[in-house]
Amino acid sequence: KKLTDETMTIFSPETTCLRRVKIRNAPLTKRGLRNLRSHKIIELEAVGLKHVTVNDLIGCLGEWTLSNLKTLNVMNSTLFNNVNEFCVVVALSKLRNLRSLNVSHTEFNKNGLAIIAEDLPALESLDISCTTISDLSPLRKCKDRLKSLSMYNLRAILNKDVVSTICELKHL
């Protein structure tokens, strides 16, 4: 069975306490995701969301979760709604304590990379595989904290500055 907006109502804060949430290829809308608002989530995996954007997902999270979320995996989900690609990166930058981010197989780009490198001071693990990123230079801002970087099938592999940028990442 698929997780739907209706089945999401099972997870009311009166009956459940969600800390680690995994949603895979579910036809959820903002209506269903709003059920996450009252929970104190520290790990969120929302893979393959196509009916809502990552910005919508982040907008459905409560203040406690926005302040304390450690892991976010939005692989193969929709980042942009063709209206404003900037807003999703601004939404991601609200997750100040995020340590691990997976945006693989999404429309994530260099502008997003620059913003998260600057605005996510706790970021230690990043997966940008199969994205449109062709320049890794924004990662230099993470050189003292990034411990894990996954980046297969990137255009950046053809860029001559890739090796020098990676060598600057001290803790990989």
The tens digit of pLDDT for each residue in 101-120 reads 999 999 898 888 999 999 99
The model's pTM is 0.92
Long-range contact set of residues 42-46: C-beta below 8 Å, sequence gap at least 24: 42/68, 42/69, 42/70, 42/71, 43/19, 43/69, 43/70, 43/71, 44/20, 44/69, 44/71, 44/72, 44/73, 45/21, 45/71, 45/72, 45/73, 46/21, 46/72, 46/73, 46/74, 46/77
The tens digit of pLDDT for each residue in 66-77 reads 999 999 999 999
What pLDDT does 85 receive?
Answer: 54
